Structure 1
Amino acid sequence: MGTSFLSSEEYDELAHKYYDTGDYDQALDVLRDGIAQYPDSVLLQVGLGYTRIAREEYAWARQCFERALELDSEYEDAWVGLGETLLKFGRVEDALSCFAQIDEMGLGDDLELGLTVGRALYREGLFTDARARFAALSTSHADSAELAAARGYTLHALGDDLGARRELRRALKLDAELHEARIYLSHLLHDRGDLRGALTELEQVPPAEHWDTLSIWRYIELKTQLDGVTEDDGWFAPWRDTLAELDDEPDDVDHLLAEVEASFEGVVDEQAAAALELSAQMDFMMKVLGPNAPVPVAEPEAAAHRIRTAEGSVFEGSWDDIVGGMRDACGEPALSLGTFMRRAARQIHERTGRDVPSHSAEAFLKASARMGLLRIER
């Protein structure tokens, strides 16, 4: 459709429609066209910045937000977006200063802005700061299910499982269709050993509302274990259909190739930004793997495979042996391999937004390697 006669607001609305459906490429094209027509539009610059964030193009996103603030130094969404991108580069104090601008403008109790800030802090592992931001919002937004859920996720990250379950249950009382919170609560109940409670929560989530393979596999596992349904039962057909759809989504290699292609569209060198993003992912994976723990290594003659972590730790053996070594290095030798992989997959998803399969050791390790979290040497 022609867009030459659209206003800047109409360009923004059109881009939002594409953005909300996940079509970030089309949203990007619309915003570029809009900025060509309205180069001084703060609204379009901010929209372009958030689209760049969605495409994980943080260096370009930062430029967009800085340009927006040159045009209007009191545009609150630009301060939030700039803070979010600065977090990606490890500039925590600068990011917090950006977020503080929101409070200085008297917008500290704005729910949408506060949730955006808190979630950005959470994604970067700044859980104490995220908790403080969410707590500040709770007084004036006690009826917000999304806020209660966000507090629940953060409390769990801080080790307060009881508080996390309480907040997630409160969120579900406020909005019974907040499926992400229900799935998360199910995982917490499962980790606590309440398998029936975990299944009860998953049974209330429609198959199409599952956003990762972990929760679907867990539902199938619990349903067969507790209710005696066989894995090939037709009952699971809707869940397996969703599982197939999720498995068909582009993997990290596809995303990487798309980013390489996109890099030819601009003149900004993002090599440093990409290195920082990869470093952040590696650092997180090492937290999961416990890099300071002793690393068990199989005898050379028994080693079929070998992987090396970002910190240089080496694990050898079969795929199962390697995952078992990682689990032991975490100080959790009592965990089954399946439980360890599911926990790690969930944590990686929370940190990066990317999914790692947990149904087999080989798939788990190869997906982690594609994300740059480790290297498979043989």
Structure 2
Amino acid sequence: MKLLNSNGDIKILPRAVHKIASFSINGKHIQEYDSNYSYSAVQKYLKRIISNPEKLNFLDAVIRYNYWYKPVLLSVNHDNMNKSYNNETLIKLYKEALKISPNNEKYLLGLASMYRLSKNLNLATGIWQKVLQINPNNYQALLSLAVYTQFNKNQKAFKRSLTRLNEIDGQQTKQVEGWLRYLEELKTIRLTTNLNRVYDDNTSKHFIVILGASLTAAGKMKLKLKKRLRAGLKLAKRMPNTRILVSGGKLPREPDFEAKVMKQWLINHGIKSKRIFEETYSRDTVQNTVNSTDILNENGAKTVTVISNASHMKRSYTLFKTARLITNGKYLLDQYVVFESKDEFKALENNSRDIPKIINDLLRVAGFWLLPGIQR
């Protein structure tokens, strides 16, 4: 990929990696936002690129950068997730790409995802419908329409969509029906708040999975991550033969990998290094899930306890169950929640606002791209 630098010269950018890994440009980890990736700069640079393929390669790089750059790590939205703050820019960038290639399904699906993330489901729906006009067999567009607009509101239409999905790809649809059941279970799921109720399996095939959380710009852990680690430490000391998997990569502006900081904390508190597995590639909960599931399967896990905060667990536990289903994992799975604050008790209640976010992440775990070619 190519991008113009501040002098107007074209420089080479690495192709978007397919492995789920921490984000860097030219091998350098992102710290401060590069104004060359702003929309105003992009408009100027596009005028200097002659061929349409080069323009699209350039836009792919810029979209990737703007999606992953998180300007304010300490700010969160109502889902308790780090904000991107770049949604408006990304929407404009996708529109630029569609000016060049109006019927490109990749860019249409990306724009639909950005509208959905911006809570504009009507515009997203219109784009999915347009994709299906271009290609009636586009599985992702049809599935997106079904789960976001029909699942809870129009069962007849939803069943018709499932029938059509089954005609397109019966094997894939069987998996979809499996993880859709997990969405139904969200209404009655009971989160574990007592450490005495998690699996009592003091063997090397029991994995305690501690999910990471963003560090401060100085590389320090915040309270939510410390509480997760303290809970994991209690379990690890109670069952000294178990393994521990710490999961968390490095976001833009983080000076270190979350998993490495977590591992060192556990070592400092008496856990032997050889008991600890590190997952350092992930940048969000979906990637925590996908990468951790691979490690669990590769190491023959039999029982797994996932540890996270109450506000995070319904989503993360559902994703782990889905990943186990998708990969034919053979282990039993349970969870334990910790509380960062009294407000997190609200997370134990059913909250319909979480459902679109969970659907979004379930699709990604199942292999559907949020931004095709840029973000699974």
TM-score by length of 2: 0.42
> Whose helix proportion is higher, 1 or 2?
1
> Whose strand proportion is higher, 1 or 2?
2
**RCO greater where, 1 or 2, for CA within 8 Å and sep 6 or more?**
2
